[in-house]
Chains A and B, each alone.
Chain A
Amino acid sequence: MLSTTQRLWLLNTISLIFLAVLIARLIDLQIIRTGYFTAIATSQRQRAAELAPSRGTIYLQEHNSSELFPVAVNNKSWIAYAVPRDMTDPLQVADALAPALLQFRERQQQHIAAILSATGQQPNSDQVPPDQPNYDDRLATLRDELYRKFNQHTDPYEPFLKFYEYLDDELYNFLSEQQLTGIKIEETTSRVYPEKTLAAHALGYVGWLEDKKVGRYGIEGNFESSLAGDLGFFSMEHDTTGQFIGVGSRQFEPATDGESIVLTLDRVIQSAIEDELKDGVTRYGAERGSVIVMDPRTGAILGMATYPTYDPNYYYAISDARVQQNPIISDIFEPGSVLKPVIMSAAIEEGLVTPQTTVNDNGPVKVAKYTINTFDGKHHGVQTMTQVLEQSNNIGMVWVGQQLGAETMYDFLRRFGLGEKTGVELEGETQNTLKEPDQWNVATVATTSFGQGVALTPLQILNAINVIANDGTLMQPYIVSRRQPSNGEEEITLPTQVRRVISPATAGDVSAMMVSVIENGVATLARVPGYYLAGKTGTAQVPDEKGAYSPDRKIISFVGFGPIDHPQFSILIKLDNPAGLSFASGTAAPMFKRISEKIINYLQIPPDYDPTKQPPKFEVGKSDQAGA
């Protein structure tokens, strides 16, 4: 039997041991493993997320209006996907989903077909469905496909829509009502173009690159980083109900929204040229067509259209990826006779010729191994330089080119901005090059003088013609009028003079000669009664795969500006391979007239003479006199 003292000692010992264990456990929990439990506690009460910025809006303007018209904005859309590991009965889900999904896919196919038709595209073989099995067979096939996807018990994610598809109202309502197990609906942000196909090639679209949305082509592509903005970060403690604790620790870095961009494109002019272009391509049976309208005094692009086009809202509804490219800046072609005013300007500027200088056209000429003839095979004897342009006489131009020589001609082509990128703010501009003059031979000089043997983009050509309209000064073409950062001052683009190319006198002479092309020459169908407009036709041959010129393919073009006293617009029209024996004088020239009439009415430009009366005979004066 233990004594009292011994019992007390035993009790003390046991208590000390118990206390030691308790202290050891506390040390373990609160000191040794403090990091582990702190992390658990933090994860329970801390919520962190990236803050997505809003993509900037793109606007168009109208003449004499301060109103801005959004053409690229953001919208909330819905996507859906499956989580097979949450499904208890994948077959039942597949059975329920298949009919609605089949109808959704059929609606999508019909919508794509409608878009292809409206945008002038021909569906390719993948888009023309073969003879389809009946509805029940298609439904059974889809059900099996869905069941195969859903019958994976550990799979956390299985898409059943294409990566670019969003739910339409019907499918969204169905999924919301049915609440199918394992089917998740998620809100996301999509890019919407309220004006649909308007200015599609200038805008570009927002598509997918790997797993990220990025702008492609046009303004969306060129300004991707500034339109997208910067991500923000947010971290804050919350209580058990999910409410944020105001006095808790927090980190907050706000997202920077993307900047908004206002384009120089005029909404009315853009719509007018798209309508005319669609009509012209259809009427003349061309493979493709393009129209550009610019303000020659500033270099601002007022309209830029290509047909066939596409709808950026459904950028995947295309039959050929080429339709998304902007040929106005990316396609090079041999311009043909529309380059003649540039060559003539160089010769007049160098003092080699005047508008009244004559040349003898008695028939085809041989240059090296080549025989050069007029486009219509006609020869008119003694011709002035003005008449050479009026009749688009290749023989006269060859003579002018020979007066200039390779070095001078090359020099002027470069001074007119040809053979280099214009630097316009659009993604996809092609860099073309001109052969150095030491690589030219006599044939190169001859063919270049009437626009063959040199490859340029439509924008380069019109920008060069603008030099003539703008009293001899080359301007920097631009399409962005203003940039509006979300947290900064607005930046306005000012017109930029690149350099003086020719003198105002030379520009005046060539302008008058180009007016004579419309008033007295082959382009009379381009005349707008009451107005003196300058213009030049072009019919260029197209090389085939072997490098020789194809007898069947050609590019028709027309370039012009007006009114002559104070040019407010310049236009280039290009048609690829119009059907039949068509020349620019009968195709592109009338298109120029219709577009010019609309622009003149829109800009309210008063006439140069009374259109109801017989116009006076237009004659190009001597080089020290102004116009006619």
Chain B
Amino acid sequence: MTSINNQFVQPRRPLAQSYWRHPQHQQTRRFASISRWQSGSINSTTISLAFGLFIILSISFLGFFYLGQVLNTASQGSDIQQLEERIVELKEKQRQVELEGAQLRSIDNIENRVQDLNLVATGKVTFLSPAVDQVTALAR
């Protein structure tokens, strides 16, 4: 088959020029231009398209990544709030326990408990003065 290029380079009659001007053949002419690039040389359009695609994919990836991070952080806000509520709850429990402890240790409560336990108040206290080389013990 005779190559199109040959026919294009060496038109045999003027009428051949109108061939490519016809709208039906414009498409073919374009592909002819592209295939001229494909045959052993890099097509600039191809590079542009590839670069554009890369940019779009990168932006999309970064966008989804950012969105993911934001959603993750936002959800952590509720986790933080729950933890803070837990801290408040535990502090309140601790405060309650301390208050109960204070009430149990109060002088008034001890005096009441002492009566229930039938303890006896101390009387006179006697101070013992042992000699230096002796140990003093009180036998019950």
A606–B108 CB distance below 8 A: no
Does A173 make an interface contact (CB < 8 A)?
no
Residues of the B chain whose Cβ atoms lie less than 8 Å from the Cβ of A271: 107
Q: In the assembly, what is the distance between CA of A192 and CA of B98, in Å?
A: 12
Set A69, A73, A243: member contacting B81, Cβ < 8 A: A243
Set A73, A246, A248: member contacting B99, Cβ < 8 A: A73
Set A198, A246, A601: member contacting B74, Cβ < 8 A: A246
A74–B74 CB distance below 8 A: no
B102–A243 CB distance below 8 A: no
Does A546 make an interface contact (CB < 8 A)?
no
Q: Shortest distance in angstroms between A90's beta carbon and chain B's nearest beta carbon?
A: 35
Residues B96-117 near A (CB distance < 8 A): 98-99, 102-103, 105-108
Residues B104-140 near A (CB distance < 8 A): 105-108, 122, 125, 127
Does A626 make an interface contact (CB < 8 A)?
no
Residues of the A chain whose Cβ atoms lie less than 8 Å from the Cβ of B103: 194
Main SS class of interface, B = helix
**If A75-B99, A194-B102 touch, does A244 touch B108 (CB 8 Å cutoff)?**
no
B99–A192 CB distance below 8 A: yes
Residues A198-253 near B (CB distance < 8 A): 198, 243-248
Q: In the assembly, what is the distance between CA of A223 and CA of B6, in Å?
A: 106
Q: Shortest distance in angstroms between B113's beta carbon and chain A's nearest beta carbon?
A: 14
A245–B77 CB distance below 8 A: yes
Does B62 make an interface contact (CB < 8 A)?
no
Residues of the A chain whose Cβ atoms lie less than 8 Å from the Cβ of B122: 601
Does A196 make an interface contact (CB < 8 A)?
yes
A601–B99 CB distance below 8 A: no
Residues of the B chain whose Cβ atoms lie less than 8 Å from the Cβ of A601: 122, 125
The number of chain B residues with a CB under 8 A from chain A is 22
A196–B106 CB distance below 8 A: yes
Q: Shortest distance in angstroms between B51's beta carbon and chain A's nearest beta carbon?
A: 33
Residues A244-288 near B (CB distance < 8 A): 244-248, 267, 271
Nearest A residue to B72 by beta-carbon distance?
A: A246
Residues of the A chain whose Cβ atoms lie less than 8 Å from the Cβ of B105: 69
B127–A247 CB distance below 8 A: no
Does B86 make an interface contact (CB < 8 A)?
no
B107–A198 CB distance below 8 A: yes
Nearest B residue to A54 by beta-carbon distance?
A: B95
**If A73-B98, A192-B99, A601-B125 touch, does A247 touch B77 (CB 8 Å cutoff)?**
yes
Q: In the assembly, what is the distance between CA of A248 and CA of B105, in Å?
A: 48
What sequence of 0s and 1s flags, for each residue 75-112 of chain A, a beta carbon within 8 Å of any chain B beta carbon?
A: 11000000000000000000000000000000000000
B107–A195 CB distance below 8 A: yes
What sequence of 0s and 1s flags, for each residue 165-206 of chain A, a beta carbon within 8 Å of any chain B beta carbon?
A: 000000000000000000000000000101110100000000
Set A73, A74, A244, A607: member contacting B78, Cβ < 8 A: A244
Q: In the assembly, what is the distance between CA of A607 and CA of B105, in Å?
A: 31
Nearest B residue to A241 by beta-carbon distance?
A: B78
Residues of the A chain whose Cβ atoms lie less than 8 Å from the Cβ of B106: 194-196, 198
Residues of the A chain whose Cβ atoms lie less than 8 Å from the Cβ of B77: 243-248
A194–B99 CB distance below 8 A: yes
Does B46 make an interface contact (CB < 8 A)?
no
B95–A74 CB distance below 8 A: yes
Q: In the assembly, what is the distance between CA of A248 and CA of B73, in Å?
A: 10
Does A70 make an interface contact (CB < 8 A)?
yes
Q: In the assembly, what is the distance between CA of A198 and CA of B106, in Å?
A: 9
Residues A601-615 near B (CB distance < 8 A): 601, 606-607
B73–A246 CB distance below 8 A: yes
A246–B76 CB distance below 8 A: yes
Residues of the A chain whose Cβ atoms lie less than 8 Å from the Cβ of B70: 247
Q: Shortest distance in angstroms between A206's beta carbon and chain B's nearest beta carbon?
A: 15
Q: In the assembly, what is the distance between CA of A194 and CA of B106, in Å?
A: 7
Taking each of A69, A74, A248, which has the highest tally of chain B beta carbons within 10 Å of its own beta carbon? A69
**If A246-B77, A607-B127 touch, does A198 touch B108 (CB 8 Å cutoff)?**
yes
Q: In the assembly, what is the distance between CA of A601 and CA of B122, in Å?
A: 10
Residues of the B chain whose Cβ atoms lie less than 8 Å from the Cβ of A73: 95, 98-99, 102
Residues of the B chain whose Cβ atoms lie less than 8 Å from the Cβ of A74: 95
Residues of the B chain whose Cβ atoms lie less than 8 Å from the Cβ of A246: 73-78, 80
Closest 3 CB pairs of A and B: A246-B77, A194-B102, A243-B78
Extra A-B contacts (5), CB below 8 Å, given A195-B102, A244-B78: A73-B102, A75-B95, A196-B108, A246-B73, A247-B73
A-B contact pairs, 6 of them (CB 8 A): A70-B99, A73-B98, A198-B106, A198-B107, A247-B73, A607-B127
